[in-house]
Amino acid sequence: MYKSFYNLQRNPFEITPDPSFLFPTTRHNEALASLYYGVTAHRGFVVLTGEVGTGKTLILRSLLGLLQRRDVAFALIFNPTLSPLEFMRYIAGDFGLPVTGKAKDELIHVLNGFLLQRHQKGLTTILVVDEAHHLSPEILEEIRLLTNLETSQQKLLQIVLAGQPELDQKLDSHELRQLKQRIALRCHLDALSLNETREYMGRRLQIAGAPAAGEIFSGPAIEAVFRHSRGIPRLVNTVCENALLSGYAKHAATITPEIIDGVARDLRLGVVAVEQKNSGARLSKEQEQSELLLAVKTLLEVRDRMQEAETKGRLQ
Ligand SMILES: Nc1ncnc2c1ncn2[C@@H]1O[C@H](COP(=O)(O)OP(=O)(O)OP(=O)(O)O)[C@@H](O)[C@H]1O
Ligand SMILES: [Mg+2]
């Protein structure tokens, strides 16, 4: 809707994880490189964690995109709330193996044969589990058994788990210490800094065909996006997408901080931030200050509205 108004060829801030929009921050780059190395060097078991909306699924998709250029077979699980039997069936089925009527032991046997064959041909086989923080202890135990499929030199199945920070807590638990010892590489994604947010927005606008990315969002508007999103890429996208819609409706050629504040209010982003504060999430000094400023601003607005209402009341 707003594309022609802002001279864009595509929507810059879609929330689907599209690898063609990947902006390589140092941490995203490191995560992608670690996963790629872990898998191609047959290290066995690698784990990627990060807060909600920081780019885990995007990194997995980028990894699979890179690996498709090599002769790699993978099974991808993104709904890990399965029973152990369903889990094994799903994996074997994704590799194109016969699964109907087979018990779990038989499935593991078939899978082992398949992995050995691929290994003898020098080929890599991967199991990728997204949203792995939802995995039950039973499935994690199945995964531990899968890490046992190996020759004397190498793991036959490369396993990548990606999930929210609760996954780290699960893997740190006493009962999963055997699995934890098998993790060869661990990487973590964080929110973006202010500078990264600025570059991230610029890159997305540039890919979407903006003639001069810096001119659509003013400097203070970018700071407001950072303040409200706390640098979390999915929230940056949501705020910016809504700001472009709102700017278009107002015929604003440049997105101002006021437009961003309005959008953030409508999205109730401040409410989420307060909840997270209460739940003990740590904010940087910069983020704390901007939240304080926002709170003061909101209070002043409320005061103005009350005064306005009072004056109106007196006049009536
Ligand atoms: N480095 C990046 N470059 C470009 N876009 C990014 C980057 N990081 C995240 N995004 C974008 O942010 C949004 C959220 O990313 P993604 O869905 O991968 O997050 P997630 O960590 O998997 O979230 P969840 O915990 O909810 O599963 C997507 O639109 C994605 O494209
Ligand atoms: Mg995800």
Spacing, Cα 298 to ligand 2 middle (Å)? 33
Average of pLDDT values for 45-68? 96
Q: Does residue 272 have a pLDDT over 70?
A: no
Higher pLDDT, 287 or 247: 247
pLDDT band at 281 (very low <50, low <70, confident <90, very high): very low
**What backbone torsions phi and psi does residue 231 show, to the nearest 5 degrees?**
75, 10
CATH topology of domain 26-189: Rossmann fold (3.40.50)
E-strand spans in 51-100? Answer: 72-77
Tell me if the pTM is above 0.95. Answer: no
Higher pLDDT, 12 or 306: 12
Spacing, Cα 310 to ligand 1 middle (Å)? 46
DSSP one-letter string for 243-285: HHHHHHHTT-SSB-HHHHHHHHHHTTHHHHHHHHHHTT----H
219-236 tens-digit pLDDT: 999 999 999 999 999 999
pLDDT at 280: 44
- What is the C-alpha separation between 77 and 86, in angstroms, rounded? 11
16-49 tens-digit pLDDT: 999 999 999 999 999 999 999 999 999 989 999 9
Q: Whose CA is nearest to atom 15 of ligand 1?
A: 55
Average of pLDDT values for 241-267? 95
Q: Whose CA is nearest to atom 28 of ligand 1?
A: 17
Spacing, Cα 239 to ligand 2 middle (Å)? 19
153-189 tens-digit pLDDT: 888 999 999 999 999 999 998 988 988 998 999 999 9
Query: Pocket of ligand 1, candidates 20, 56, 234, 237: which has the most ligand atoms within 8 Å of its Cβ, to mutate?
Result: 234
CA distances from 245 to 162, 219, 263 (A): 33, 19, 10
188-200 tens-digit pLDDT: 999 999 999 999 9
Residues with Cβ < 8 Å from 268, sequence gap 6 or more?
Answer: none
Spacing, Cα 55 to ligand 1 middle (Å)? 3
Q: Does residue 92 have a pLDDT over 80?
A: yes
pLDDT band at 147 (very low <50, low <70, confident <90, very high): confident
* Other Cβ atoms closer than 10 A to 54: 23
Q: Whose CA is nearest to atom 1 of ligand 1?
A: 23
**Spans of all domains in the chain:** 26-189, 194-310
**Closest ligand to the CA of 133:** 1
